[in-house]
Chain A
Amino acid sequence: MAENASNPVIAAADLKKVFRDFWRRPKVRAVDGISFEVSRGEVFGLLGPNGSGKSTTIKMLLGLLFPTSGRLRVLGESPRHVKTRSRVGYLPEHSYIYPHLTSEETLDFYGRLFDLSRRERRRRMEQLLEMIGLQHARHRMVGEFSKGMARRIGLAQALINDPDVVVLDEPTSGLDPIGCRQVKDLILTLARRGKTVLMSSHLLADVEDVCDRIAILYNGKIQAMGPVRELLEEKGRSRITLPELSPEAMARVLELLRKEFGEEPELEHPRRDLEQFFLDVVEKARRGTQASPPKKEKLAGYLEGEDLLQKLAAPSTTETKREEPPPSAPPPAARTDARLSHLLQNGPDNE
């Protein structure tokens, strides 16, 4: 299948992987006939408990393992094709980086494997080190790094070739909440640039924050797959978020809802998520201890792309996928908002 804009970037059909023992007897059926497709610019999440087949699927996508049967195409070619590999970036679950190389040497080495020129390697290295906040450790051996630092340098090597497909195995594992947020922002930015991201994670909140679609694996099979919003939506229930209301206004709203739906609505104050609260606290503390404002971690320039520089001039570090405007028809939540507004203006009796 030749690469085409309308074709899926990743296409797996009835993919199976059976691990065999020394005598070629089947030992474990790690992946059992899964099929999925990932389109350009999509963030696709693979979820599942340990041993469900996530890592095996990812390794087959990278050509590190070969499918026992089924069809697998990445960018229209076999994942083992050298041409395909030049357009793929991979962050493994553990940072399998050479411990005796410094950060600079590590990025330079992987850059050379992509045949980048010395000048381009230097440019990307500088930008990536700034992006992952390891400029100060550029001459330190990777073997001396903490787990979080090793993850960061692993992420940087995955992006050195400005890949079209980024495969991230547990990308936020070992990172502090700030690092997690940066990685999530990076994933979203990459997706906006038309990059395809396939990630696996145990941290469901992370997946929920960034993925367009997910597949939940169990026992080597896909148990559920679809857009995150659709999978998580409780069809029979609605939630309205309002500004602070006076007791009288609140009573009127509740009364209206009671009459409309015939049951007592639940009333609670919305909570911020813990990640956002943590980031706010850290930011406040940082402002209190530093005379000058902290330098904001920025995305590597070459990853932003020339045409998107304007759009990404001031990327929000707190944006999430949910804040993006819907591409076509308004989502069910927007329709509910319109209906509520109508109700508040006219009252249930006037409808």
Chain B
Amino acid sequence: MNRVLSIAAVTLRTAVRSRIVVFMMLLLVFILTGLPSAIRGDGTLTGYVQVLLSYTLGFAGFILSVVAVWTGCTAVSSEIRTHQMDLVVTKPVPAVQIWFGKWLGILALSLALLLFTFAAAYGGLRWAMIHRSASEVDIQKLREQVLVAREKIAPRDEGLEERAENLYRLRQAEGAVPEGVAPSTARRIIADDLRLQANSVPPGYGRRWIFDFGSSVKDRPLFLRYTFSASRPEIEGLWTAGESGSRDQAVRRVTEASGGVRTWRIPSAAARDGSLTIEFGNIHEEPATVIFPPENPPVLLLYHDSFEMNFLRVFCIAFIRIAVLAAIGLTAGTLFSEPVALFFSAWMVLLLNIGRYIRAMAATDVFFPVHDGPARIPGLLDRLLHLFFAALDGLVRPLQSPDVLGAMAAGEWVSWGLVAAEFLVKVLIFCGLLAALSSFVLKRREVGLPA
């Protein structure tokens, strides 16, 4: 351990004395102060805080990720190139200790910078709450919807998958599934169709969701968050929450524009016995179907925890993400020469940032359709591309973090369970595997080769 800590200390000391830290702190101050002013929010205090928490911290986090990858890459590859590593590997230090020492050094540096960033952001938030003028409504909205950790409850599963499967079997038995269409494609088409039907509300009809939350609502208001689209710019609807006919039932008649995210504040009294039924009625006079996007259904938000605890958990996840990137950079630096390592790491960062596009591509069966229509048949190239993106998705998905900054800015609860899962999968398993791979390679690498 003594050796690991000494290598970590030297890595950290070198970074600090080469003035990286000072430069990074200045850059972070610039981002933390400049970005909230540069990005135009909705003019409210809530908007300002949300920009600070999502965009500003997100950009600062991106900069710190780049620093972690870059420092990781150069920590080994640059030392091999300049032969500083010669004097380390000729000492009785196992390769795995060198890797861990370097990694810990980078983590210590990243931790200091991340602490600085989050502390500055929190300070900025508190400063804005004191010095920025805001209405009472705005302040209440900020306290209830942003500076809070609310658990997100999805509506009860309506067994659509099972219905889709049954319908697929029926259609297959009827011979209605066209020949050549992959079963997965046919199932997906049927399921999509069912979901769309379930979330479409024609004029004069309604849609019901049941939310089960089990726990107490703690006498705090609940919030329904939803979005919809319609063929008309504005839709008139009737929302009800709670037992029908009960005096605690919350009712809200709205005329709302299509698109955009809406929130309905529901008194806690409407919720009973750990569940809440919410209904929407399409009462628009002119015929217009309302569609709630199946991939983004209404959710119920319940108070769970304080903002500060959420802030702390988001900090932990941000640090875990940086730790993973530092490990990737360090491993690349061990495996490859400096320029190749930097190139490889840049690609990895890019892949992690476009993970959702990769996921979408992996879910695509036909990239080059021969003809249009629901029953497109994949060719050889389609299959190869599908395999490629599926493999890429398999590689990238475990490393992707949920958008915790966005969640925090929306006042959503980030659980300790998520922090623990991130730590287990990314730090213990993934970084452990990278450490094993790096030490295997470093032990077998001729570090004394002429540059």
Which residues of A pack against B, CB within 8 Å? 19, 59, 62-66, 80, 82-83, 85-86, 88, 90, 92, 94, 96-98, 100-101, 105, 108-110, 112-115, 141, 157
Contact = CB atoms under 8 A, between A and B. Distances in A.
A73 B5 CA distance: 31
17 contacts: A62-B90, A65-B449, A66-B446, A90-B87, A90-B90, A92-B86, A94-B83, A101-B10, A101-B14, A105-B10, A109-B10, A112-B5, A113-B88, A113-B93, A114-B91, A115-B2, A115-B3
A264 to B, nearest CB: 54
A96 B446 contact: no
Nearest to A58: B448
A216 to B, nearest CB: 22
B427 interface: no
A86 B90 CA distance: 8
B224 interface: no
B80 to A, nearest CB: 10
Contact of A63 (B5, B14, B90): B90
Contact of A96 (B84, B92, B449): B84
Contacts of A65: 446, 448-449
B351 interface: no
Contacts of B10: 98, 101, 105, 109
In the A-B complex, list the 5 residue pairs whose CB atoms are closest, starting with the nearest: A64-B448, A112-B6, A86-B92, A59-B448, A100-B17
B89 A96 contact: no
A109 B447 CA distance: 20
B126 interface: no
Nearest to A90: B90
A110 B84 CA distance: 12
A85 B90 contact: yes
B17 A113 contact: no
Contacts of A100: 13-14, 17-18
A141 B91 CA distance: 22
Given A96-B83, A100-B14, A63 B2 contact: no
A110 B17 contact: no
A157 B14 contact: no
Nearest to B83: A96
A157 B84 CA distance: 13
B168 to A, nearest CB: 52
A92 B5 CA distance: 25
B91 A62 contact: no
Contacts of B93: 82, 85, 113
B388 to A, nearest CB: 26
A114 B97 CA distance: 13
B447 A64 contact: yes
A96 B82 contact: yes
Contacts of B2: 112, 115
B94 interface: yes
Interface in B216-264: none
Instruction: Determine which residue in B82, B88, B446, B449 has the highest number of CB atoms from chain A within 10 A of its CB, and name it.
Output: B446
Given A96-B82, A98-B10, A64 B89 contact: yes
Nearest to B6: A112
A157 B17 contact: no
A105 B87 contact: no
B84 A97 contact: yes
B92 A98 contact: no
A110 B90 CA distance: 11
Q: What's the interface size class on B, roughly?
A: 20 to 34
B13 A64 contact: no
B124 to A, nearest CB: 33
A156 to B, nearest CB: 12
A116 B91 CA distance: 12
Interface in B70-119: 82-84, 86-94
Contacts of A82: 92-94
Instruction: Determine which residue in B82, B88, B89, B92 has the highest number of CB atoms from chain A within 10 A of its CB, and name it.
Output: B92
Given A112-B2, A112-B3, A114-B92, A97 B87 contact: yes
A83 to B, nearest CB: 7
A64 B90 contact: yes
A96 B86 contact: yes
A59 B89 CA distance: 11
Nearest to B443: A80
Given A98-B10, A113-B3, A88 B17 contact: no
A141 B444 CA distance: 32
B52 to A, nearest CB: 35
A109 B2 CA distance: 10
Given A82-B92, A101-B10, A112-B6, 6 more contacts: A62-B90, A109-B9, A112-B3, A112-B5, A113-B6, A141-B17
A100 B7 CA distance: 14
Contacts of B5: 112
Nearest to A85: B92
Contacts of B18: 100
A7 to B, nearest CB: 21
Nearest to A116: B2
A64 B82 contact: no
A17 to B, nearest CB: 10
B134 to A, nearest CB: 48
B10 to A, nearest CB: 5
Contacts of A80: 443
A157 B88 CA distance: 11
Nearest to A88: B90
A1 B228 CA distance: 79
A154 B297 CA distance: 67
Given A96-B84, A98-B10, A100-B13, A113 B448 contact: no
A142 to B, nearest CB: 11
Given A65-B449, A92-B83, A100-B18, A109 B6 contact: yes
Contacts of A96: 82-84, 86-87
Instruction: Determine which residue in A90, A97, A108, A109 has the highest number of CB atoms from chain B within 10 A of its CB, and name it.
Output: A109
Contacts of B448: 59, 62, 64-65
Interface string B414-450: 0000000000000000000000000000010011111
A338 B382 CA distance: 97
A248 B219 CA distance: 126
Contacts of B7: 113
Contacts of A112: 2-3, 5-6
A80 B18 CA distance: 32
B3 A157 contact: no
B86 A64 contact: yes
B446 A157 contact: no
Contacts of A108: 6
A59 B450 CA distance: 11
A98 B6 contact: no
Nearest to A111: B6
A62 B89 CA distance: 9
A297 B87 CA distance: 26
Contacts of B9: 109
Nearest to B98: A113
